[in-house]
Structure 1
Amino acid sequence: MTVESGYADFFGPQVPRTGDEGQTPTFALASAAYRDNEADEILKANSEWHKSEVGKPRIKLFRPNLGEAFSRAIIDRMLGSGRAPLIQSFGTQPQVVVEHALAAHRIRRERDNWLTAVMVLCGLLFLPGLLVWLLVFQIRTTMAKRDDKRAGALATALLVGVGALAVLFLLRMPFTGFWAWYARAAVVAPVVGWFWAKQICERTARDLRARWDSLLSGSSIGAKVPEAVPSSPGETAAEQLRQSLARLSAEQQSNSVFYAGPKGILGMGTRWGSWQLAEDLVPADPDREIHPFRSWDVIKAVHDRLRMLERGPLNTGGFPKPTIRHWIVTPIGENATAVSRPEGTDVEAYQVKQHAVQEICNKQQFGAGDRHYLGVQWTLWDGQLVITMLITVTVLHETLRIEVTGHALGPVHSLFTTKPAAKEKEVQKSIKFWETRKVKLPLVDSDEVVRLAARAPLTNYPPLLYWLGGKLSLPEPFGLRHAWADKPWRHRFMADDALRAATPVLRVVHAAAIKVLEENGVDTTKFGSRSSSLSTAVQDATPSKADLYDA
């Protein structure tokens, strides 16, 4: 079931305020809802692990553009009833993106309502003429899409030739009486409707492009959804959307994540580094046994020390305040197309309860089941870089192992950060034919007007429109942020930030863990030596594909 664009948040559109984290990727992704490029453009943003697909249209006249396909796909996937679980979008505000998709969809629906009226008055009442003109434009579009340069000229010649035949038909009418006048109207009315539709399409195109440009310029333009606040308690559609958005927000705050093998933790990025400290638990005093403790005791001490990362002996800026959370990690297959979040009495509002987190930390360290990780996360570069360091503590027999792993999620693909460019082409000068000049093209050309007018009556029947024109299929398991994230290692300073975070985190973790061991009567000599060795090695950290084992 598709949630219509007229719905919005119960409390109105949510716009990131100045200083909020995640403005850049949020606005970049939201801008896709207003774009008028070809839908295939989004395939350029496909990554090694996450690939979108655009279905081939059965009739090219009904194909969607990028903004239409993106808005529909986001609304259906993130707000549809009975939707599959979503992956958290760290460094992004998914609700804002969804609201802009709703706003863009509403703007297009208003345009389509006008175009539908034009189609009824100038097309449906004169159906024979409309079908002939549509057939001509369909043939012209098919010919123009060919790589052969002569195909474009031939397509234009076809349209001119049909126009000449239409004029001849009007002058040399083979009928008389009522049918003669009807035939004339059937030829002229669709052309008049095209001029009317062109004005409507250009007005909407200017509006959509202005919003696209404003989002990428950082003006924090809001998503215009007038029906945001229900006017009466009986508005079930608005209540349904309010619940869908509340579910979206709750799932975004979930402490449950998924490890997809070489793809890493979905939403956090691939694992680029791993450092392990593993030594035997030996009593410091041979005459006394070790005081019993649990993995959670070590994790709790590490948690408390990590909260002090933003403080240092020198006033040099340093770390911003990190987000420190306990994560429950569920393993899934590398090629899994869906995820299933934990359920039961130990889960409330997508959050695994504290006592269950402690139990998993202390007991589920070997064999099947979820695992516990303590994560310290920074959202940097205005949301474009998400650095996550995960810590896990396990005790098997007499060996205690402390593992620290680094994950990095890079910026959204540059496709989403490109601003609208003026439509123009280069042509040869009439006199100085060896030079060229740029000529501005119409914002909405004749083929685009015909495409929009043909699609307009079917926008209220999405399944039929999908069947005729194709649609955008999102990569599963779907999350807004990781689906179109680029690698951070191509950006020198982003790479530096990710690598620099490893050393202080590793040292804080080891210091906190060794202190707990000393307090419980454990000989920490070997732990200290191993920690010093790792502390030296981590200074030369280089990103690698830590989840791709050469075996």
Structure 2
Amino acid sequence: MTVESGYADIFGPQVPRTAGEGQTATFALASAAYRDNPFQDIKKADNEWHQTDVKEGRKWARIFRPNLGEAFSRAVVDRMLGSGRKPLIQSFGTEPQVVVEHCLAANNIRKARDRMLSTIMVICGLLFLPGLLVWLLIFQLRTTIGKANEKRGSALATVLLVAAGALAVLFLVKMPFGGLWAWYARACVVMPVVGWFWAKQVCERTAKDLRGRWDSLLAGSSVGAKVPEAVPTSPSETQAEQLRQSLAKLSAEQQSNSVFYAGPKGILGMGTRWGSWQLAEDLTPADPTREIHPFRSWDVIRSIHDQLRMLERGPLNTGGFPKPSIRHWIVTPIAEGAKAVSRPEGTDVEAYQVKSHAIQDICNKQQFGSGDRHYLGVQWTLWDGQLIITMLITVTVLHETLRIEVTGHALGPVNGLFTTKPETPTKEVTKSLKPWESRTVKLPLVNSDEVVRLAVRAPISWYPPLLNWLGGTIALPEPFGLRHAWADQPWRHRFMADDALRAATPVLRVVHAAAIKVLAENGVDTEKFGARSAFLSTAVQDPTPRKADVYDA
């Protein structure tokens, strides 16, 4: 076996890879990398708590503006794989690595197109620069006129282009001078037009590829993201190795058991808190002649953890709960307007995971005052990743009072912007013989203005900072996580709302039953706990979600 082949074997399966079933949210977000909408449309996906900053660029350089796919894929790759990047928020119900791989694949497709367009610009543009500048000026005037007068702008712009073409033909026929310069002048008029037709073919071919991937992702065919540069084939490929490590780091951070509570925004990645139920009673001995057997909060949590594993089982064969994810979470408080988070570090943390002994210490000791807190979470990913239901349980003991708190969090579907399929450009035209009727005519995927925009952007696409300064870009909402940044509320979807509300009652009853069992085993009088539990069991059936993180003080 050669050194190269052995090195390739070390890095395991080759990219591309696709996600499994139930990845509607993942594929919807990934499809944004292939879209050709105006990049300002990303603002339509903003929610109550997270807004994307659209940076317009220079007003005089509108021709350099990106579309949504170009701006989105570049912003996501830079934010999630860039060197020295800030920590990310977990994207529950999605696979962020798949989204990033599709962004990388979309960038590769566009880079191949831009290399071809750059060659065309050199052959048909740079060598005949005077003619290129004149044609660009005409197109810029055409665009400006079209935007300035919405009603008559299109007609005036067309007239301008026809007049420019007529003048070009007249110039070719009635050349005011002769010799070598006359032939060069003719070439300056003709070659940019030839380059435009050539560039149009390249742009049309790429547009079909990008739109095909966009449509396939939303159709559920899970088209593969081809990212060969993420798989090193030899020890000398340092860039590929760095990219592979960045993707591995992204996957590791996605599995972190550390989350952040941002006030009214709720727990980032899990959604806002819509309900809270608290059972708090004094710890009194069941037998007045004997003391309570000492126990810790972790003993109660461990019993609750064991009982929650039985949620998927029931006395009747009627479907019921799918298997939930049950994990211990360390919750760190941050300010509502914080633009960055800081994950726990030190010897108690390994690969973004807080170790088990540290989790127990936090559960037993950090129940009052500053510091992180422990929560036991039971989470369901439903509706193919479009709905995330999380119930969090925490147990605290202050003086002689034991409190068991259960809170409900819900994260809704990704915004509808990401689930719209590509539409073929069409136009309604009046029939020539029947002016009172109209018919629909299909338009090219790439129009004249788009060909010019792509051709002009291509030569400087190798240096994104300049392109972003000229045309604009998008700044992702911070603290950034792919899933929660563009999630809608689930309460507008009747069945999603029902699922979130129905999960609360069984979880609450299991938690209370498990806790009361531990109390009884340790000699605690459970009469008051049982009465309070019965009251809460009735109250939890109130079907109204509330903004439990907004305190009316």
| TM-score normalised by L of structure 1 | 0.96
User: Which residue of 2 is the match for residue 31 of structure 1?
Assistant: 31
User: Which residues of 2 match residues 204-243 of structure 1 at below 5 A?
Assistant: 204-243=206-245
The answer for the alignment partner of 1:44 in structure 2 is 44
Amino acid at match of 2:49: W
The alignment status of 1:170 with 2:172, answered yes or no, reads yes
Deviation at 1:367, TM superposition (A): 1.1
Q: Distance in 1 between matches of 2:496 and 2:190?
A: 60
Following the alignment from structure 1 to structure 2, what is the Cα–Cα distance between the partners of residues 106 and 490?
A: 38
Q: What's the CA shift for 1:14? A: 5.4
| Identity value in percent | 79
Q: Could you report, residue by residue, the CA deviation over 1:148-187 in whole angstroms, capped at 9, with x for unpaired residues?
A: 2112222222222222222222222223222221111111
> C-alpha distance in 1, partners of 2:18/2:253?
19
Q: Deviations over 1:22-72 (max 9, x none)?
A: x10111111111111111122111111111122113111000011111110
Tell me the amino acid that sits aligned with residue 205 of structure 1.
A
Q: Give, in whole Å, the separation in 2 of the partners of 1:168 and 1:344.
A: 77
Which 10-residue stretch deviates more, 156-165 or 37-46?
A: 156-165
1:543 aligns with one of 511, 520, 545: 545
Determine if contact 1:56/1:469 at 8 Å carries over to the other structure. Answer: yes
Q: Provide Cα deviations, 1:79-131, integer angstroms capped at 9, x if missing partner.
A: 11111111000000111111111111101100000000000000111111111
Equivalent residue number for residue 500 of structure 1: 502
How far apart, in 2, do the equivalents of 1:454 and 1:110 lie? 15
CA distance in 1, matches of 2:149, 2:417: 24
Q: What's 2:311 paired with?
A: 309
- Deviation by residue 1:257-307 (Cα, 9 ceiling, x = unmatched): 011111111100110100000111111111211111111111111001101
Q: Secondary structure at the match of 2:26?
A: helix
CA distance in structure 2 between the partners assigned to 1:339 and 1:130 by the alignment: 49
Q: Give the one of 475, 478, 493 matched to 2:477.
A: 475
Residues 80-91 of structure 1 mapped to structure 2, 5 A cutoff: 80-91=82-93
Deviation of residue 468 (structure 1)?
0.5
Partners in 1 of 2:475 and 2:305 — Cα distance?
Answer: 40
Per-residue deviation, 1:144: 2.0
Question: What letter matches 1:305 in structure 2?
Answer: Q
In structure 1, the partner of 2:324 is 322
* 1:228 to partner: Cα distance: 4.2
Residue from 442, 449, 452 that aligns with 1:450? 452
Where does structure 1 differ by over 3 angstroms across 4 or more consecutive aligned residues? 14-19
**1:546 alignment partner, SS class:** coil
1:138 pairs with 140, 144, 153, which one? 140
Instruction: Provide the rounded CA distance (Å) in 1 between the counterparts of 2:382 and 2:427.
Output: 39
1:10–1:41 Cα change, 3 Å = farther
1-structure distance, mates of 2:344, 2:296: 24
The one-letter code sitting in structure 1 at the alignment partner of 2:47 is S
Partner Cα distance (1:516, 1:55) in 2: 57
Give the match for residue 5 of structure 2: none
Contact 2:325–2:379, Cα closer than 8 Å, also in 1: yes
| 2:71 alignment partner, one of 52, 69, 72 | 69
CA distance in 1, matches of 2:148, 2:501: 48
Figure out how many residues of one structure are paired with residues of the other and give that number. 541
Q: Describe the SS at the equivalent of 1:308.
A: coil
Contact 2:277 2:407 in 1 (8 A): yes
Cα offset, 1:10, TM superposition? 6.6
Structure 1 window deviating more from structure 2 (423-432 vs 225-234): it is 225-234
* Separation of aligned partners in 1, 2:396 and 2:187: 81
1:289 is aligned, of 288, 291, 295, to 291
Note the 1:353-368 alignment, pairs <5 A: 353-368=355-370
Which residue number in structure 1 is paired with residue 523 of structure 2?
A: 521
User: Aligned AA for 2:503?
Assistant: A
**2:440 aligns with one of 438, 441, 453:** 438
In the alignment, residue 27 of structure 1 is paired with which amino acid?
Answer: F
Residue by residue over 1:435-492, the C-alpha shift from the partner in whole angstroms, topping out at 9 and shown as x without a partner, is 2211111111110000000000111100000000001111111101111111111111
Residue deviations 1:476-521 (CA, integer Å, cap 9, x gap): 1110111111111111111111100000000000001111111111
Distance change >3 Å, CA 204–CA 257, structure 1 → 2 = same
Counterpart residue type for residue 55 of structure 1 = K
Residue pairs, 1:52-451, within 5 angstroms? 52-58=52-58, 59-146=61-148, 148-451=150-453
Q: So what's the TM-score if we normalise by structure 2?
A: 0.96
Structure 1 contact 10–242 (Cα < 8 Å) conserved = no
Structure 1 gaps, min length 5: 1-8
> Is the 1:14–1:96 Cα contact (8 Å) retained in structure 2?
no
1:201-253 C-alpha deviation (Å, 9 max, x unpaired): 00111111111111111112111223443221110011000110010000000
8 Å Cα contact 1:323-1:377 kept in structure 2: yes
Within 2, Cα distance between the matches of 1:336 and 1:260? 8
> Take 1:277 and 1:320, find their aligned partners in 2: how far apart are those partners?
27
Looking at structure 2, the residues matched to 478 and 371 of structure 1 have their Cα atoms a distance apart, in angstroms, of 22
Corresponding letter in the other structure for 1:81: S
Q: Per-residue displacement from partner, 1:374-397 (whole Å, max 9, x unpaired)?
A: 000000111111100000011111
CA–CA separation in structure 2 for the residues paired with 1:429 and 1:10 = 60
CA distance in 2, matches of 1:406, 1:117: 57
Whether contact under 8 Å (1:124, 1:130) holds in the other structure is yes
Stretches of structure 2 that go unaligned for 5 or more consecutive residues are 1-10
